[in-house]
Protein backbone atom coordinates (compact mmCIF):
# COMPACT_ATOMS: atom_id res chain seq x y z
CA UNK A 1 0.00 0.00 0.00
CA UNK A 2 1.42 3.42 -1.00
CA UNK A 3 1.89 6.29 1.41
CA UNK A 4 -1.38 7.76 0.25
CA UNK A 5 -3.30 4.49 0.08
CA UNK A 6 -6.69 3.86 1.61
CA UNK A 7 -6.69 4.94 5.25
CA UNK A 8 -8.82 3.58 8.08
CA UNK A 9 -9.69 6.97 9.50
CA UNK A 10 -13.17 6.31 10.83
CA UNK A 11 -13.33 6.71 14.55
CA UNK A 12 -9.67 7.66 14.85
CA UNK A 13 -8.87 10.29 17.49
CA UNK A 14 -6.12 12.68 16.48
CA UNK A 15 -3.87 14.49 18.96
CA UNK A 16 -3.49 18.11 17.89
CA UNK A 17 -1.76 21.14 19.28
CA UNK A 18 -4.27 24.00 19.30
CA UNK A 19 -2.74 26.99 21.04
CA UNK A 20 0.27 28.19 23.04
CA UNK A 21 -0.27 31.15 25.34
CA UNK A 22 3.23 32.29 26.20
CA UNK A 23 3.15 34.48 29.29
CA UNK A 24 6.92 34.83 29.25
CA UNK A 25 9.93 33.20 27.62
CA UNK A 26 12.85 35.07 26.10
CA UNK A 27 11.52 37.65 23.60
CA UNK A 28 7.93 36.42 23.95
CA UNK A 29 5.61 38.03 26.51
CA UNK A 30 1.84 37.59 26.63
CA UNK A 31 1.45 36.27 23.10
CA UNK A 32 -0.88 33.61 21.68
CA UNK A 33 0.11 31.22 18.91
CA UNK A 34 -2.76 29.42 17.13
CA UNK A 35 -1.91 26.34 15.09
CA UNK A 36 -3.52 25.08 11.92
CA UNK A 37 -4.93 21.56 11.76
CA UNK A 38 -2.48 20.77 8.95
CA UNK A 39 0.30 23.33 8.44
CA UNK A 40 1.51 26.33 10.42
CA UNK A 41 4.27 28.56 9.06
CA UNK A 42 6.04 30.71 11.66
CA UNK A 43 8.02 33.63 10.27
CA UNK A 44 9.56 36.78 11.62
CA UNK A 45 12.73 38.78 12.01
CA UNK A 46 15.78 37.39 13.74
CA UNK A 47 15.58 37.42 17.51
CA UNK A 48 11.78 37.07 17.64
CA UNK A 49 12.00 33.52 19.05
CA UNK A 50 10.68 31.55 16.08
CA UNK A 51 12.80 28.51 16.90
CA UNK A 52 11.78 28.78 20.56
CA UNK A 53 8.19 28.09 19.49
CA UNK A 54 9.30 24.88 17.77
CA UNK A 55 11.25 23.98 20.90
CA UNK A 56 8.22 24.50 23.13
CA UNK A 57 6.07 22.34 20.85
CA UNK A 58 8.71 19.58 20.86
CA UNK A 59 9.12 19.71 24.64
CA UNK A 60 5.43 19.11 25.37
CA UNK A 61 5.37 15.58 23.97
CA UNK A 62 6.95 12.23 24.67
CA UNK A 63 6.44 8.87 22.99
CA UNK A 64 7.53 6.30 25.54
CA UNK A 65 4.32 5.37 27.32
CA UNK A 66 0.57 5.12 26.71
CA UNK A 67 -0.70 6.38 30.07
CA UNK A 68 -4.29 5.32 29.39
CA UNK A 69 -3.33 1.66 28.91
CA UNK A 70 -0.32 1.94 31.22
CA UNK A 71 1.84 0.35 28.53
CA UNK A 72 5.26 1.19 27.17
CA UNK A 73 5.44 2.48 23.59
CA UNK A 74 8.52 1.61 21.56
CA UNK A 75 8.69 2.34 17.84
CA UNK A 76 11.47 3.64 15.62
CA UNK A 77 11.83 5.84 12.57
CA UNK A 78 13.12 4.35 9.33
CA UNK A 79 16.71 5.32 10.23
CA UNK A 80 16.45 3.97 13.78
CA UNK A 81 15.75 7.16 15.74
CA UNK A 82 12.94 7.52 18.25
CA UNK A 83 9.78 9.57 17.74
CA UNK A 84 10.93 12.08 20.31
CA UNK A 85 12.95 15.26 19.99
CA UNK A 86 15.84 15.13 22.42
CA UNK A 87 15.98 18.08 24.79
CA UNK A 88 19.41 19.12 23.48
CA UNK A 89 18.11 19.24 19.89
CA UNK A 90 15.51 21.92 20.43
CA UNK A 91 16.71 23.96 23.43
CA UNK A 92 20.00 25.45 24.52
CA UNK A 93 19.47 26.96 27.93
CA UNK A 94 21.39 30.03 29.07
CA UNK A 95 22.48 29.62 32.68
CA UNK A 96 22.50 33.40 33.01
CA UNK A 97 19.12 34.30 31.52
CA UNK A 98 17.03 31.10 31.32
CA UNK A 99 16.57 30.70 35.03
CA UNK A 100 13.76 28.94 36.94
CA UNK A 101 10.62 31.04 36.71
CA UNK A 102 11.61 32.75 33.43
CA UNK A 103 9.27 30.56 31.34
CA UNK A 104 5.51 30.19 31.66
CA UNK A 105 3.58 28.71 28.73
CA UNK A 106 -0.07 27.66 28.80
CA UNK A 107 -0.84 24.75 26.49
CA UNK A 108 -4.14 23.90 24.81
CA UNK A 109 -4.48 20.74 22.73
CA UNK A 110 -6.76 17.84 21.88
CA UNK A 111 -5.51 14.57 23.34
CA UNK A 112 -6.30 11.60 21.11
CA UNK A 113 -5.62 9.06 23.84
CA UNK A 114 -8.22 10.41 26.27
CA UNK A 115 -10.35 11.86 23.44
CA UNK A 116 -10.71 15.18 25.20
CA UNK A 117 -9.54 18.78 25.19
CA UNK A 118 -6.48 19.06 27.40
CA UNK A 119 -4.48 21.82 29.07
CA UNK A 120 -1.13 22.07 30.80
CA UNK A 121 1.71 24.46 31.58
CA UNK A 122 5.34 24.41 30.55
CA UNK A 123 7.64 26.02 33.09
CA UNK A 124 11.39 26.31 33.51
CA UNK A 125 12.34 24.49 36.69
CA UNK A 126 15.51 23.28 38.38
CA UNK A 127 16.27 19.71 37.34
CA UNK A 128 19.70 18.52 38.46
CA UNK A 129 22.40 21.10 37.80
CA UNK A 130 20.55 23.07 35.12
CA UNK A 131 17.03 24.46 34.61
CA UNK A 132 14.76 22.43 32.33
CA UNK A 133 11.33 23.03 30.81
CA UNK A 134 8.85 20.79 32.64
CA UNK A 135 5.20 20.10 31.82
CA UNK A 136 2.97 20.90 34.80
CA UNK A 137 -0.75 20.52 35.53
CA UNK A 138 -1.45 18.03 32.73
CA UNK A 139 -5.24 17.90 32.83
CA UNK A 140 -5.36 14.33 31.46
CA UNK A 141 -3.04 12.94 34.13
CA UNK A 142 -4.04 11.25 37.34
CA UNK A 143 -1.60 11.30 40.21
CA UNK A 144 1.57 12.86 38.84
CA UNK A 145 0.44 15.75 36.64
CA UNK A 146 4.00 16.71 35.70
CA UNK A 147 4.24 14.47 32.68
CA UNK A 148 4.34 15.05 28.95
CA UNK A 149 1.54 14.16 26.56
CA UNK A 150 1.99 10.96 24.56
CA UNK A 151 2.52 11.86 20.90
CA UNK A 152 5.16 10.99 18.26
CA UNK A 153 7.34 13.92 17.19
CA UNK A 154 10.03 14.35 14.54
CA UNK A 155 12.02 17.58 14.78
CA UNK A 156 14.11 18.44 11.71
CA UNK A 157 16.53 21.03 13.06
CA UNK A 158 19.19 22.99 11.19
CA UNK A 159 21.55 20.16 12.08
CA UNK A 160 20.21 18.43 8.95
CA UNK A 161 22.13 21.05 6.90
CA UNK A 162 25.51 19.90 8.25
CA UNK A 163 27.88 20.20 5.27
CA UNK A 164 27.82 16.97 3.29
CA UNK A 165 31.53 17.20 2.57
CA UNK A 166 32.28 17.29 6.30
CA UNK A 167 30.05 14.39 7.28
CA UNK A 168 31.27 10.97 8.33
CA UNK A 169 28.92 8.45 6.72
CA UNK A 170 28.60 5.11 5.00
CA UNK A 171 26.02 3.55 2.71
CA UNK A 172 23.41 1.48 4.53
CA UNK A 173 20.25 -0.37 3.53
CA UNK A 174 17.47 0.75 5.86
CA UNK A 175 15.02 -2.16 5.78
CA UNK A 176 11.83 -0.12 5.42
CA UNK A 177 13.40 2.15 2.81
CA UNK A 178 14.46 -0.85 0.73
CA UNK A 179 10.91 -2.21 0.76
CA UNK A 180 9.41 1.15 -0.22
CA UNK A 181 12.20 2.62 -2.33
CA UNK A 182 9.91 3.55 -5.23
CA UNK A 183 7.69 5.56 -2.87
CA UNK A 184 10.76 7.46 -1.66
CA UNK A 185 12.00 8.13 -5.21
CA UNK A 186 8.56 9.16 -6.41
CA UNK A 187 7.98 11.64 -3.58
CA UNK A 188 11.47 13.12 -3.96
CA UNK A 189 10.95 13.55 -7.70
CA UNK A 190 7.63 15.24 -7.07
CA UNK A 191 9.14 17.58 -4.52
CA UNK A 192 12.18 18.56 -6.58
CA UNK A 193 10.60 18.18 -10.04
CA UNK A 194 13.28 15.64 -10.95
CA UNK A 195 13.40 12.23 -12.60
CA UNK A 196 15.75 10.32 -10.30
CA UNK A 197 15.63 6.56 -10.47
CA UNK A 198 17.85 5.42 -7.60
CA UNK A 199 17.85 5.91 -3.82
CA UNK A 200 20.67 5.40 -1.31
CA UNK A 201 20.59 5.47 2.49
CA UNK A 202 23.54 6.77 4.53
CA UNK A 203 24.44 6.44 8.18
CA UNK A 204 26.93 8.47 10.20
CA UNK A 205 27.00 12.08 11.38
CA UNK A 206 23.41 12.33 10.13
CA UNK A 207 21.26 9.40 9.05
CA UNK A 208 19.76 10.29 5.71
CA UNK A 209 18.77 9.09 2.25
CA UNK A 210 18.80 10.68 -1.18
CA UNK A 211 17.29 9.98 -4.57
CA UNK A 212 19.69 10.37 -7.49
CA UNK A 213 20.24 9.49 -11.14
CA UNK A 214 22.49 6.90 -12.73
CA UNK A 215 25.16 9.51 -13.52
CA UNK A 216 25.87 10.53 -9.87
CA UNK A 217 25.29 9.12 -6.38
CA UNK A 218 25.09 10.05 -2.69
CA UNK A 219 28.65 11.43 -2.82
CA UNK A 220 27.75 14.29 -5.14
CA UNK A 221 24.18 15.30 -4.28
CA UNK A 222 23.35 18.87 -3.28
CA UNK A 223 22.35 20.10 0.17
CA UNK A 224 18.85 20.67 -1.20
CA UNK A 225 18.53 17.07 -2.38
CA UNK A 226 19.73 15.82 0.98
CA UNK A 227 17.31 18.14 2.81
CA UNK A 228 14.46 16.83 0.62
CA UNK A 229 15.50 13.26 1.44
CA UNK A 230 15.35 13.88 5.18
CA UNK A 231 11.87 15.42 4.92
CA UNK A 232 10.61 12.47 2.84
CA UNK A 233 12.14 10.03 5.34
CA UNK A 234 10.25 11.78 8.14
CA UNK A 235 6.95 11.47 6.29
CA UNK A 236 7.54 7.81 5.50
CA UNK A 237 8.54 7.19 9.12
CA UNK A 238 5.11 8.38 10.22
CA UNK A 239 3.56 6.03 7.65
CA UNK A 240 5.66 3.19 9.07
CA UNK A 241 4.46 4.07 12.57
CA UNK A 242 0.84 4.15 11.46
CA UNK A 243 1.19 0.69 9.93
CA UNK A 244 2.86 -0.79 13.01
CA UNK A 245 1.05 0.95 15.88
CA UNK A 246 -2.62 -0.01 16.36
CA UNK A 247 -3.32 3.03 18.58
CA UNK A 248 -1.79 5.58 16.24
CA UNK A 249 -3.17 9.06 17.00
CA UNK A 250 -1.31 11.06 14.37
CA UNK A 251 2.04 12.82 14.66
CA UNK A 252 3.78 16.17 14.86
CA UNK A 253 6.46 17.17 12.33
CA UNK A 254 8.56 20.23 13.19
CA UNK A 255 10.85 21.75 10.54
CA UNK A 256 13.25 24.63 11.21
CA UNK A 257 13.89 26.75 8.10
CA UNK A 258 11.80 24.46 5.88
CA UNK A 259 12.81 26.29 2.70
CA UNK A 260 16.55 25.72 3.17
CA UNK A 261 18.11 24.46 -0.04
CA UNK A 262 14.82 24.33 -1.95
CA UNK A 263 14.14 26.50 -4.98
CA UNK A 264 10.78 28.37 -5.06
CA UNK A 265 8.85 25.74 -7.03
CA UNK A 266 10.07 23.02 -4.69
CA UNK A 267 8.94 25.11 -1.70
CA UNK A 268 5.40 25.22 -3.05
CA UNK A 269 5.58 21.51 -3.92
CA UNK A 270 6.61 20.83 -0.34
CA UNK A 271 3.53 22.55 1.09
CA UNK A 272 1.24 20.75 -1.35
CA UNK A 273 2.78 17.40 -0.43
CA UNK A 274 2.63 18.10 3.32
CA UNK A 275 -1.03 19.07 3.02
CA UNK A 276 -1.83 15.65 1.50
CA UNK A 277 0.23 13.81 4.09
CA UNK A 278 -1.42 15.68 6.93
CA UNK A 279 -4.73 14.31 5.70
CA UNK A 280 -3.63 10.75 4.97
CA UNK A 281 -1.39 10.33 8.01
CA UNK A 282 -3.17 12.59 10.50
CA UNK A 283 -0.08 14.79 10.75
CA UNK A 284 0.29 18.31 12.00
CA UNK A 285 3.26 20.28 10.63
CA UNK A 286 4.81 23.39 12.19
CA UNK A 287 7.70 25.06 10.39
CA UNK A 288 9.73 28.24 10.41
CA UNK A 289 10.68 30.01 7.18
CA UNK A 290 12.08 33.22 5.75
CA UNK A 291 10.93 32.45 2.20
CA UNK A 292 8.49 34.93 0.61
CA UNK A 293 7.34 32.19 -1.81
CA UNK A 294 6.55 29.66 0.89
CA UNK A 295 4.97 32.21 3.25
CA UNK A 296 2.74 33.71 0.55
CA UNK A 297 1.54 30.30 -0.63
CA UNK A 298 0.70 29.31 2.95
CA UNK A 299 -1.15 32.61 3.40
CA UNK A 300 -3.19 32.04 0.22
CA UNK A 301 -4.18 28.59 1.47
CA UNK A 302 -5.10 30.00 4.88
CA UNK A 303 -7.62 32.28 3.17
CA UNK A 304 -9.25 29.25 1.52
CA UNK A 305 -8.89 26.77 4.36
CA UNK A 306 -8.77 28.78 7.57
CA UNK A 307 -8.59 25.79 9.93
CA UNK A 308 -6.02 23.81 7.99
CA UNK A 309 -3.42 26.52 7.31
CA UNK A 310 -2.02 29.24 9.54
CA UNK A 311 0.74 31.80 9.06
CA UNK A 312 2.17 33.30 12.23
CA UNK A 313 4.30 36.43 11.83
CA UNK A 314 6.32 37.61 14.83
CA UNK A 315 6.92 41.36 14.72
CA UNK A 316 9.00 43.45 17.12
CA UNK A 317 8.46 46.68 15.20
CA UNK A 318 6.82 48.37 18.16
CA UNK A 319 8.90 46.96 20.99
CA UNK A 320 7.77 43.63 22.45
CA UNK A 321 7.14 40.81 20.00
CA UNK A 322 3.58 40.78 18.70
CA UNK A 323 1.84 37.94 16.86
CA UNK A 324 0.25 38.78 13.53
CA UNK A 325 -1.95 35.86 12.55
CA UNK A 326 -2.45 35.15 8.83
CA UNK A 327 -0.58 38.11 7.40
CA UNK A 328 0.24 38.14 3.70
CA UNK A 329 3.83 38.48 2.48
CA UNK A 330 3.02 42.03 1.34
CA UNK A 331 2.05 42.99 4.89
CA UNK A 332 5.08 41.22 6.33
CA UNK A 333 7.48 42.80 3.84
CA UNK A 334 6.12 46.26 4.58
CA UNK A 335 6.69 45.68 8.29
CA UNK A 336 10.21 44.38 7.66
CA UNK A 337 11.12 47.21 5.31
CA UNK A 338 9.74 49.89 7.61
CA UNK A 339 11.28 48.74 10.87
CA UNK A 340 13.64 45.89 10.16
CA UNK A 341 16.23 45.30 12.89
CA UNK A 342 15.74 48.83 14.16
CA UNK A 343 15.83 51.52 11.51
CA UNK A 344 18.62 54.08 11.57
CA UNK A 345 18.02 57.62 10.34
CA UNK A 346 20.54 58.91 7.78
CA UNK A 347 18.74 62.17 6.99
CA UNK A 348 15.26 63.63 7.49
CA UNK A 349 12.74 61.08 6.23
CA UNK A 350 15.51 58.67 5.19
CA UNK A 351 16.03 55.41 7.06
CA UNK A 352 18.15 52.32 6.52
CA UNK A 353 17.75 48.90 8.14
CA UNK A 354 20.39 47.35 10.39
CA UNK A 355 22.34 44.44 8.96
CA UNK A 356 23.21 41.42 11.08
CA UNK A 357 26.91 40.51 11.07
CA UNK A 358 27.96 36.96 11.95
CA UNK A 359 31.28 35.48 13.11
CA UNK A 360 32.86 32.08 13.65
CA UNK A 361 33.83 32.81 17.25
CA UNK A 362 34.48 35.50 19.86
CA UNK A 363 38.03 36.07 18.65
CA UNK A 364 36.72 37.09 15.22
CA UNK A 365 34.13 39.40 16.79
CA UNK A 366 36.82 41.08 18.91
CA UNK A 367 38.99 41.61 15.82
CA UNK A 368 36.05 43.05 13.87
CA UNK A 369 35.16 45.44 16.71
CA UNK A 370 38.67 46.92 16.56
CA UNK A 371 38.49 47.31 12.79
CA UNK A 372 35.22 49.24 13.20
CA UNK A 373 36.36 51.69 15.88
CA UNK A 374 35.07 55.16 14.95
CA UNK A 375 33.59 53.88 11.67
CA UNK A 376 30.30 55.65 10.72
CA UNK A 377 28.97 52.45 9.13
CA UNK A 378 28.99 50.74 12.54
CA UNK A 379 25.60 52.15 13.52
CA UNK A 380 23.98 50.25 10.65
CA UNK A 381 25.01 46.86 12.05
CA UNK A 382 23.91 44.40 14.70
CA UNK A 383 26.78 42.14 15.77
CA UNK A 384 25.39 38.63 16.25
CA UNK A 385 28.12 37.58 18.68
CA UNK A 386 26.01 34.85 20.32
CA UNK A 387 25.73 32.99 17.00
CA UNK A 388 29.04 31.17 16.45
CA UNK A 389 28.84 28.63 13.65
CA UNK A 390 31.73 27.08 11.79
CA UNK A 391 32.74 28.19 8.31
CA UNK A 392 31.19 25.08 6.73
CA UNK A 393 27.83 25.71 8.39
CA UNK A 394 27.71 29.32 7.19
CA UNK A 395 28.66 28.37 3.64
CA UNK A 396 26.00 25.64 3.57
CA UNK A 397 23.35 28.13 4.69
CA UNK A 398 24.48 30.52 1.97
CA UNK A 399 24.57 27.81 -0.71
CA UNK A 400 21.13 26.68 0.44
CA UNK A 401 19.94 30.24 -0.15
CA UNK A 402 18.75 30.78 3.40
CA UNK A 403 17.88 34.50 3.01
CA UNK A 404 19.39 35.66 6.30
CA UNK A 405 22.83 34.48 5.20
CA UNK A 406 22.62 34.60 1.41
CA UNK A 407 20.99 38.04 1.09
CA UNK A 408 20.30 39.93 4.31
CA UNK A 409 23.31 39.36 6.59
CA UNK A 410 27.10 39.56 6.39
CA UNK A 411 29.31 36.66 7.45
CA UNK A 412 32.87 37.53 8.53
CA UNK A 413 35.04 34.45 8.18
CA UNK A 414 38.63 33.87 9.27
CA UNK A 415 41.19 34.53 6.56
CA UNK A 416 42.56 30.97 6.64
CA UNK A 417 39.58 29.83 4.49
CA UNK A 418 40.63 32.04 1.56
CA UNK A 419 41.82 29.09 -0.52
CA UNK A 420 38.53 27.27 0.10
CA UNK A 421 36.59 30.24 -1.30
CA UNK A 422 38.85 30.88 -4.28
CA UNK A 423 36.88 31.21 -7.50
CA UNK A 424 33.51 31.31 -5.69
CA UNK A 425 31.29 34.35 -5.44
CA UNK A 426 29.87 34.61 -1.94
CA UNK A 427 28.61 38.19 -1.95
CA UNK A 428 27.70 38.23 1.76
CA UNK A 429 31.06 36.83 2.94
CA UNK A 430 33.97 39.06 3.96
CA UNK A 431 37.30 37.61 5.09
CA UNK A 432 39.02 39.15 8.11
CA UNK A 433 42.54 40.53 7.50
CA UNK A 434 45.71 38.50 7.93
CA UNK A 435 46.60 34.99 6.88
CA UNK A 436 45.82 33.19 10.14
CA UNK A 437 42.84 32.57 12.41
CA UNK A 438 42.45 35.57 14.77
CA UNK A 439 43.82 33.90 17.91
CA UNK A 440 46.97 32.79 16.04
CA UNK A 441 47.29 36.14 14.30
CA UNK A 442 47.25 38.18 17.52
CA UNK A 443 49.65 35.78 19.21
CA UNK A 444 52.14 36.18 16.35
CA UNK A 445 51.73 39.97 16.37
CA UNK A 446 52.41 40.30 20.09
CA UNK A 447 55.15 37.69 20.28
CA UNK A 448 57.10 39.53 17.59
CA UNK A 449 57.01 42.83 19.49
CA UNK A 450 60.34 43.37 21.32
CA UNK A 451 60.33 43.55 25.12
CA UNK A 452 61.09 47.29 25.09
CA UNK A 453 58.24 48.14 22.71
CA UNK A 454 55.91 50.93 23.87
CA UNK A 455 52.95 48.54 23.77
CA UNK A 456 54.20 46.68 26.83
CA UNK A 457 54.34 49.90 28.88
CA UNK A 458 50.61 49.88 29.59
CA UNK A 459 48.53 50.69 32.64
CA UNK A 460 47.59 47.05 33.09
CA UNK A 461 51.24 46.12 33.69
CA UNK A 462 50.80 43.54 30.94
CA UNK A 463 54.48 43.27 30.02
CA UNK A 464 56.02 40.92 27.49
CA UNK A 465 56.94 38.51 30.27
CA UNK A 466 53.31 38.46 31.44
CA UNK A 467 52.31 37.74 27.85
CA UNK A 468 54.78 34.87 27.39
CA UNK A 469 53.64 33.38 30.69
CA UNK A 470 50.00 33.57 29.60
CA UNK A 471 50.97 31.97 26.27
CA UNK A 472 53.30 29.36 27.79
CA UNK A 473 51.31 26.40 26.44
CA UNK A 474 51.49 27.78 22.89
CA UNK A 475 55.21 28.50 23.18
CA UNK A 476 55.94 25.04 24.64
CA UNK A 477 53.73 23.00 22.31
CA UNK A 478 55.00 24.65 19.13
CA UNK A 479 58.66 24.77 20.25
CA UNK A 480 58.94 28.53 19.80
CA UNK A 481 62.44 29.59 20.82
CA UNK A 482 63.29 32.34 18.35
CA UNK A 483 62.94 36.10 18.72
CA UNK A 484 60.32 36.29 15.97
CA UNK A 485 57.93 33.54 14.97
CA UNK A 486 56.10 32.42 11.83
CA UNK A 487 53.01 30.79 13.36
CA UNK A 488 51.86 29.20 10.12
CA UNK A 489 55.21 27.46 9.78
CA UNK A 490 55.20 26.33 13.43
CA UNK A 491 51.66 24.91 13.18
CA UNK A 492 52.54 23.07 9.95
CA UNK A 493 55.56 21.49 11.67
CA UNK A 494 53.65 20.52 14.84
CA UNK A 495 53.78 16.82 15.72
CA UNK A 496 52.24 16.90 19.18
CA UNK A 497 49.08 15.16 20.32
CA UNK A 498 47.01 18.29 20.97
CA UNK A 499 44.73 20.15 18.57
CA UNK A 500 46.48 23.40 17.54
CA UNK A 501 43.15 25.19 17.36
CA UNK A 502 42.32 24.35 20.99
CA UNK A 503 45.80 25.30 22.24
CA UNK A 504 45.50 28.79 20.76
CA UNK A 505 41.93 29.16 21.96
CA UNK A 506 42.96 28.36 25.54
CA UNK A 507 45.59 31.07 25.32
CA UNK A 508 43.14 33.60 23.91
CA UNK A 509 40.42 32.83 26.45
CA UNK A 510 42.84 32.89 29.39
CA UNK A 511 41.99 35.28 32.20
CA UNK A 512 45.16 37.38 31.86
CA UNK A 513 44.85 37.86 28.12
CA UNK A 514 41.13 38.64 28.33
CA UNK A 515 41.93 41.59 30.60
CA UNK A 516 43.91 43.03 27.71
CA UNK A 517 41.23 42.28 25.11
CA UNK A 518 38.46 43.77 27.27
CA UNK A 519 40.23 47.13 27.29
CA UNK A 520 38.17 48.00 24.22
CA UNK A 521 39.33 51.04 22.27
CA UNK A 522 42.14 51.91 24.69
CA UNK A 523 45.70 52.12 23.32
CA UNK A 524 46.77 48.79 24.79
CA UNK A 525 43.96 46.78 23.25
CA UNK A 526 45.95 44.23 21.19
CA UNK A 527 43.52 44.28 18.27
CA UNK A 528 43.56 48.08 18.08
CA UNK A 529 47.35 47.90 18.03
CA UNK A 530 47.29 45.34 15.21
CA UNK A 531 44.90 47.47 13.13
CA UNK A 532 47.00 50.62 13.57
CA UNK A 533 50.15 48.75 12.54
CA UNK A 534 48.59 47.04 9.53
CA UNK A 535 46.79 49.85 7.68
CA UNK A 536 46.96 48.25 4.22
CA UNK A 537 45.34 45.00 5.34
CA UNK A 538 42.80 46.88 7.47
CA UNK A 539 41.85 49.18 4.60
CA UNK A 540 41.46 46.27 2.20
CA UNK A 541 39.03 44.67 4.66
CA UNK A 542 37.07 47.91 5.19
CA UNK A 543 36.73 48.35 1.42
CA UNK A 544 35.44 44.78 1.01
CA UNK A 545 33.05 45.23 3.92
CA UNK A 546 31.66 48.41 2.40
CA UNK A 547 31.00 46.53 -0.85
CA UNK A 548 29.26 43.73 1.06
CA UNK A 549 26.99 45.97 3.12
CA UNK A 550 26.06 48.01 0.03
CA UNK A 551 25.16 44.74 -1.72
CA UNK A 552 23.06 43.53 1.19
CA UNK A 553 21.19 46.83 1.35
CA UNK A 554 20.46 46.76 -2.38
CA UNK A 555 19.84 43.06 -2.94
CA UNK A 556 18.55 41.93 0.43
CA UNK A 557 16.46 44.95 1.41
CA UNK A 558 15.82 46.61 -1.96
CA UNK A 559 17.25 49.93 -0.72
CA UNK A 560 17.76 52.49 -3.48
CA UNK A 561 21.47 52.92 -4.23
CA UNK A 562 21.10 56.70 -3.88
CA UNK A 563 20.37 56.25 -0.17
CA UNK A 564 23.62 54.41 0.58
CA UNK A 565 25.94 57.41 0.82
CA UNK A 566 25.88 57.12 4.63
CA UNK A 567 27.43 53.66 4.43
CA UNK A 568 31.00 54.89 4.22
CA UNK A 569 34.21 53.73 5.86
CA UNK A 570 37.17 55.81 6.96
CA UNK A 571 40.38 54.31 5.64
CA UNK A 572 43.45 54.23 7.87
CA UNK A 573 46.41 56.47 7.06
CA UNK A 574 49.24 54.47 5.53
pLDDT at 409: 92
Average pLDDT for 224-246 = 94
Q: H/E/C letters for each residue in 135-190?
A: EECCCCCCCCCCCCEECCEEEECHHHHCCHHHCCEEEECCHHHHHCHHHHHHHHHH
Looking at the DSSP bridge assignments, the partners of residue 265 are none
Contact, 93 vs 130, CB < 8 A?
A: yes
Q: How far apart are CA 308 and CA 297, in angstroms?
A: 13
Per-residue confidence band for 237, with pLDDT thresholds at 50, 70 and 90: very high
Average pLDDT for 503-518 = 90
pLDDT at 339: 52
CB atoms within 10 A of CB 88: 8
Contact, 561 vs 554, CB < 8 A?
A: yes
Average pLDDT for 308-327 = 85
Q: Decide which of 428 and 331 is more confident.
A: 428
Pick the CATH number of 352-434+536-566 from 3.30.420, 3.90.25, 2.60.120, 3.40.50: 3.40.50
Quick check: 69 pLDDT over 60?
A: yes
Ranges of beta strands (E only) in 400-509 are 409-413, 429-431
One fold for 16-161+248-336 and 352-434+536-566: yes
Q: How far apart are CA 197 and CA 182, in angstroms?
A: 8
- Of the candidate ranges 153-157, 303-307, 499-503, 521-525, the one whose mean pLDDT is the lowest: 521-525
pTM of the model: 0.60
Q: How far apart are CA 265 and CA 259, in angstroms?
A: 11
pLDDT at 1: 40
Pairing mode of beta strands 153-156, 251-255:
parallel
CA angle 412, 413, 417 (to 5 degrees): 155
CA-CA-CA-CA torsion sign (285, 291, 296, 299): positive
Per-residue confidence band for 319, with pLDDT thresholds at 50, 70 and 90: low
Q: How far apart are CA 399 and CA 397, in angstroms?
A: 6
Contact, 424 vs 431, CB < 8 A?
A: no
> What would the CATH number be for the domain defined by 16-161+248-336?
3.40.50.300
Distance separating the N- and C-terminal Cα atoms of the chain:
74
- Of the candidate ranges 413-422, 460-469, 503-512, the one whose mean pLDDT is the lowest: 413-422
Q: How far apart are CA 401 and CA 185, in angstroms?
A: 24
CB atoms within 10 A of CB 40: 25
List the domain boundaries for the chain.
16-161+248-336, 352-434+536-566, 438-533
Q: How far apart are CA 434 and CA 548, in angstroms?
A: 19
What b/e readout covers 54-78, taking b as 16+ CB neighbours within 10 angstroms?
Answer: bbbbbbbbbbeeebeeeeebeeebb
Helix or strand run (H / E) with residue 299: helix 292-304
Quick check: 352 pLDDT over 80?
A: no
Helices (H) and strands (E) in the chain, counts: 20, 24
Average pLDDT for 340-360 = 72
Q: Phi, psi at residue 231, to the nearest 5°?
A: -65, -45
Model confidence over 354-413: pLDDT tens digits?
A: 899 999 999 999 999 999 998 989 888 999 988 888 898 999 999 888 888 998 899 999
Highest-scoring range by mean pLDDT, 127-141, 236-250, 484-498: 236-250
Amino acid sequence: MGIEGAERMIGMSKTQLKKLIIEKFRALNNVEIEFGDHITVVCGKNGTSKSSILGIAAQIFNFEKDWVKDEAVSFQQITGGSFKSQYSEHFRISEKFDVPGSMTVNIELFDGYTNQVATAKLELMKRGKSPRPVVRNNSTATGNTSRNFTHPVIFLSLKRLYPIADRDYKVIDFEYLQKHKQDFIGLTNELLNRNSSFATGTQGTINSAVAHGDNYDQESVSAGEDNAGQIILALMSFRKLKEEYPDYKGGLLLIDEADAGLFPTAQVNLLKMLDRMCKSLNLQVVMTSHSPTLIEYAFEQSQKFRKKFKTVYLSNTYGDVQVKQDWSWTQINDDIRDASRGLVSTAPDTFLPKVNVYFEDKEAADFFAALMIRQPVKKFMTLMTEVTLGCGHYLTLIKSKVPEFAEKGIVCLDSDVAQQLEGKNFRTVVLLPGNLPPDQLIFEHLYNLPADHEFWKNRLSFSRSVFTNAASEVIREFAITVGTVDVKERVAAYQGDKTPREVFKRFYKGEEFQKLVSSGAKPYNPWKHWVENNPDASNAFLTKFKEAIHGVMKNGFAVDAAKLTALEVKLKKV
